[in-house]
Amino acid sequence: MIFLNDPINFIAGWMRGLLTGWGLSDAMTTVIIYFIGITVLIVFAMVLDILLVWVERKVVARFQDRIGPNRIGPFGLIQPFADIIKLIIKEDITPAGADKLLYNLGPVLAIASVIILWAILPLSEKIFDVDLNVAVLYLVAAGALGTLSIIVGGWASNNKYALLGAFRMVANMISYEIPMVVVLLIPTILADSMSVQKITQAQSGMWFAILSPLALIIFLISAIAELGRSPFDLNEAESEIVAGFHIEYSGMKFGLFYAGELLHAFTFGGFMAVLFFGGYGGFFGLEKIGFFSWLNNPFVQAVVFLAKAMFGYWVIMWIKYSMPRIRIDHMLAFNWKFLTPLALVVLVNTAVLSKVLAGLPNWGYVLGMFFSNIVIGFITVEILRAYGRNQRKAEAKLSPQSAQNQEQAV
Amino acid sequence: MTADQIIFLLCAALILGSALMVVTTRKLIHAALWLVAALFGVAILYAVLQAGFLAVVQVVVYIGAIAILFIFAVMLTRREMLDKGAQTRSNWWLPALLGLLILTGLVFLIIGQPAFGRTAAEMPAGVDTLRNLGTALVSPDAFVLPFEVASVLLLAALVGAVYVASGNKE
């Protein structure tokens, strides 16, 4: 029963007893146990990654009205393993004039920048690596390493297209980091903490997705931009720069970039779950009723969390496979003229309302927050509509066709 | 030796080694990346000293923004990548002597401190350093004035950058 209620501490306690029984010192035991814990976490993330390859290929097939992998194993489940074998036995090419060390460092950094994010991802109340009090900022810091990996890989390849991809990625990441940071402050204000555990627990009654739907949308957009996935996949735009920053990589080095991207998308699905959908909890108080107390079991919580993360991953895939690529000037204009101001307005609104509505009963607080977001969203859409109409009018005046039409009418 | 001391020594070796590589390597882009390594070492030091916020901000600001801008600028100057000139001047011993003197002075100053040689006290449970830092930055009897002055300065820099970047200078 103890194992079922607190598996990590149970195993750690058992191993501590075993190792000290062998005569190891206390400090040494701690180091060994931490090391094993980290290894297990990384292995879990990487094995999940193999599954994600299959999920991604199956889902994209459905979006494109195909069946997807279906030859090897039931539902093509063994396909990813065939992919891995193919990637491993491919020739490993280092282009002439490449910077060898940096060329090899690129893929390593790419996967590392994702895996360090798993250090703060709480799978359940009892299954987590570390509960940082600055977890939300840690998310942004890990993104910086991701940018670095792409720059290093793109530059070291000694290829114009790769370098162009790296340049585009920097423009993309530095811009979209700003609305991301601003919008990450909203769950922080609502939960009154930056720790992911406390943010999760603050949502046991009400998801932040309902308190601030606009924040969720802005976070989703900037997360997709940070992932470099379509519609923001300018760094690897096939039709313009072939494959962008990873054009020269072959075999497992390309595999690491690819696996890193998939795991990154899933991880951001996980953070969306933690920050806006209640993470492993968020059952609207259901878990306090005796009959539903099994919802507090760490394994049930982990399954709930992974399901929510998978939902976030699916939404990211859904957007990726249904949107055309955005042009680079549009991408920058969209960020600086639309997303950043909107994120700031939502942040100020949340900060003020969370103090103003604090005295109200719970339902008043929730309704006030929700409707303030709806009003901001409505005003934004109206402003966009007026702007679009003005643009169309200006274009209609310019075109010779309309001048002719007017002459005929006269 | 405690675990903290081992981590500190490894970290210090990383920082000093990478800092040395920044000034001795001949490839500009390698110098920029060694700088990233040195800054990362400083972030680890902050984390060891239980200043998690400073550690994360160090990575976000110095690696995520400043170092990446460095690398970006270096990448745009591709022709100048390899510096073939001499790496030292004839009077290199003068700054070396000055540096050594300052180091000796600082070491004596630190050894003279009463706190020297003591192990750091354990952080009491339940202290939220982040909250204390935030309150200190905006409370009137702490650091609100420097904080606001820095904000105004940054705003002025922002406005200036926008003015310089916008094309309409008649």
CATH classification of B1-82, choosing from 1.20.120.1200, 3.20.20.370, 3.40.50.1820, 3.40.718.10? 1.20.120.1200
- Domain range list for chain A: 1-89, 92-388
Q: Which residues of B62-84 are buried (b: 16+ CB within 10 A; e: fewer)?
A: bbbeebbebbbebbeeeeeeeee
Tell me the pLDDT tens digit for each residue of A127-160. Answer: 777 777 888 888 888 888 888 888 888 888 888 8
Tell me the pLDDT tens digit for each residue of A3-30. Answer: 777 777 778 778 878 877 887 777 778 8
C-alpha A97/C-alpha A158 separation (Å) is 6
Optimal mutation site among A30, A32, A151, A185, interface B, most CBs of chain B within 10 A? A151
- Residue B105's pLDDT is 94
C-beta atoms of A166 and B75 within 8 A: yes
Of A25-29, A83-87, A219-223, A393-397, highest mean pLDDT: A219-223
Tokens 């406390």, residue located: A198
* Residue A409 pLDDT exceeds 70: no
C-beta atoms of A148 and B130 within 8 A: no
Q: Report the share of chain A in percent with pLDDT over 70.
A: 96
Q: CB–CB of B68/A151 below 8 Å?
A: yes
Q: Report the share of chain A in percent with pLDDT over 90.
A: 8
Of A102, A140, A194, the CB nearest to B130: A194
C-alpha A85/C-alpha A113 separation (Å) is 24
* Residue A407 pLDDT exceeds 80: no
Of A137, A152, A194, the CB nearest to B60: A137
pTM, entire model: 0.85
Q: CB–CB of B25/B34 below 8 Å?
A: yes
Nearest CA in chain B to A167: B72
Residue-averaged pLDDT of chain A: 83
End-to-end Cα spacing for chain A: 88
C-beta atoms of B75 and A151 within 8 A: yes
Phi, psi of A197 (to 5 degrees): -60, -45
Q: Which 8-state DSSP code applies to residue A193?
A: S
Q: CB–CB of A130/A119 below 8 Å?
A: yes
Environment class of B111 (CB within 10 Å of its CB; exposed 0-12, middle 13-18, buried 19+): exposed
- Residue B16's pLDDT is 92
User: Hey, is A229 helix, strand or coil?
Assistant: coil
Q: Which two tokens stand for residue B13?
A: 């070796």
Q: Assess A144–B contact: CB distance below 8 Å, yes or no.
A: yes
- Residue A404's pLDDT is 67
Q: Which of residues 293-352 of A touch B (CB under 8 A)?
A: none
How large is the ipTM?
0.76
Contacts of B4 in chain A (CB under 8 A): none
Tell me the pLDDT tens digit for each residue of A242-267. Answer: 777 888 888 888 888 888 888 989 99
Contacts of A138 in chain B (CB under 8 A): 56
How close, in Å, is residue A55 to chain B by CA atoms?
32
Optimal mutation site among A194, A198, A226, interface B, most CBs of chain B within 10 A? A194
Contacts of B27 in chain A (CB under 8 A): 99
Positions of chain B with pLDDT under 50: none
Q: Assess B161–A contact: CB distance below 8 Å, yes or no.
A: no
Q: Which residues of A239-269 are buried (b: 16+ CB within 10 A; e: fewer)?
A: eebebbbbbbbbebbbbbbbbbbbbbbbbbb
- Residue B152's pLDDT is 95
Confidence band for A402, pLDDT divided at 50, 70 and 90: low
- Domain range list for chain B: 1-82, 131-170
